[in-house]
Structure 1
Amino acid sequence: MTDARPTRRFAQLALVALIGLGALSQARPALAQAARDPQAEQFVQSRAQRVITVLADKNQSIAQKKATFHQAIDQLADVPKITNFVLGKYARTVTPDQRQRFAAAFRVYAESVYQNRISDYHGEVLKVTGSTVRKPGDVIVNTTISGGQIGQPLPVAWRVLGGGTSWKVVDVQFKGVWLAITQQQDFVSTIDNAGGNIDVLISQLQRDAQRPASR
């Protein structure tokens, strides 16, 4: 039987991308241009690979990995923008106190997905295979992740915004699904079911972050 854990791990890698999950809009217009952006490609190649390398580094202690991983995420993704996006419609009504507590809970929850599985990473490699410029400063970078315990290369696409040497991941596509939107839908549904009480989602994230990794 094929071990599905590597696929689940990298679905999670794409999902929180690591926290690399923000998006500026839910709309995904058709790509109108075919030009590549070498600078955006280099950003994804170096920063996303850095995240994977940190998780697989056997020369660092768990505490060192967590600290380095935290820094690598900030270099890869626009965390404040992500945090606002995943709240969906509730981003407009959340109080400053709730926003602060949600941001802290979401960050800990997102990083715990990887930190609980640090021992599962075994030198996987990310390779950029191309990119498409949607418009200046908005690029889809296509990659594959292979090696380690992965039998077949996994395609992962990264939407990045910026320009020159300044880019940030704002969404990630895995198996045809743009994962930021999925995360937002899940969170908004949880809040809706709680009658609009964002504190219910905050408590859920805090509980989930404390759970041991499932195997």
Structure 2
Amino acid sequence: MTQTPSAFRPTRRLALCAALGLSMLGAPALAQGGARDAGAEQFVQSRAQRIIGVLADKGMTTAQKNASFHTAIDELADVPRVTNFVLGKYARVITPDQKARFSAVFRTYAEGVYQNRLGDYHGESLKVTGSVVRKPGDVIVNTVVAGGQVSQPLPVAWRVLNTGGAWKVVDVQVSGVWLAITQQQDFVSTIDNAGGNIDVLIGQLQRGGQRPTRSK
């Protein structure tokens, strides 16, 4: 029996996040204390605020919001790196044809996941509260989302890498869960249970994983 990928299994996944230190990007360190990086903080403040602003904009239609969110994701995230990361060990054996098909369906699926989780906050502003330099060019930026229907500021952490002189987000921690790490574990488990058949995961994302239902 194959396992349907799920982006959010907080109880089980919180423990898993700590166990993935050998993953492609490495497990994020705790975002507390240590040196700060002003460049990384400025990047997250401007780009992530745009994401929050798009989700909070009540003047756009759903189609307009999805299009704006798509563009904002390209400015914020290293989409190719994340796409490769979530495949885990299978990134080394995926065929070019499978990679092209997976990249297309994962992009739609991932946008739905991030839009769902960040949209749950119904916030209107984002403020950087600090950052931690894991190593040069690898920083976790802490923020709080407030305003709108948020009764009290809620934390969101962003892991950003600087490659080629440009910052890009490679993971986001929402409600204590690193989303890309969680997706990697779910996707690898699904492929494992399918006997290593990557097409099974691609098919599941095509059929039902593209727009996750908003959590209550």
Taking structure 1 as the reference length, the TM-score comes to 0.78
Q: Percent identity?
A: 72
* CA distance in 2 between partners of 1:95 and 1:114 (Å): 27
Q: Which residue of 2 aligns with 1:195?
A: 195
Residue 45 and residue 164 in structure 1: after superposition, are their counterparts in 2 closer, same or farther (change >3 A)? Answer: farther
Contact 2:110 2:210 in 1 (8 A): no
Consecutive unaligned residues in structure 1, runs of 5 or more: 1-7, 9-22
Number of corresponding residues = 194
Q: CA deviation at 1:173?
A: 2.2
Residue 174 and residue 94 in structure 1: after superposition, are their counterparts in 2 closer, same or farther (change >3 A)? Answer: same
Q: Which residue of 1 aligns with 2:130?
A: 130
Contact 1:24 1:170 in 2 (8 A): no
RMSD value, Cα: 3.0
Consecutive unaligned residues in structure 2, runs of 5 or more: 1-7, 9-22
SS at match of 2:213: coil
Contact 1:26 1:181 in 2 (8 A): no
Residue 176 and residue 31 in structure 1: after superposition, are their counterparts in 2 closer, same or farther (change >3 A)? Answer: closer
Q: Which residue of 1 aligns with 2:169?
A: 169
Q: Which residue of 1 aligns with 2:102?
A: 102
Residue 97 and residue 78 in structure 1: after superposition, are their counterparts in 2 closer, same or farther (change >3 A)? Answer: same
1:82 aligns with 2:82: yes
Alignment of 1:1-215 (within 5 A): 24-28=24-28, 34-113=34-113, 122-162=122-162, 166-209=166-209, 213-214=213-214
Q: CA deviation at 1:33?
A: 7.9
Q: More deviation in 127-136 or 115-124?
A: 115-124
* CA distance in 1 between partners of 2:64 and 2:103 (Å): 23
Contact 1:33 1:133 in 2 (8 A): no
SS at match of 2:196: coil
Q: CA deviation at 1:174?
A: 3.0
* CA distance in 1 between partners of 2:150 and 2:102 (Å): 34
After superposition, the C-alpha distances for 1:113-169 in whole angstroms (9 at most, x for unaligned) are 466799867443211001112222111111111222222322111111117972001
* CA distance in 1 between partners of 2:91 and 2:64 (Å): 33
Taking structure 2 as the reference length, the TM-score comes to 0.78
Q: Which residue of 2 aligns with 1:5?
A: none
Contact 1:128 1:144 in 2 (8 A): yes
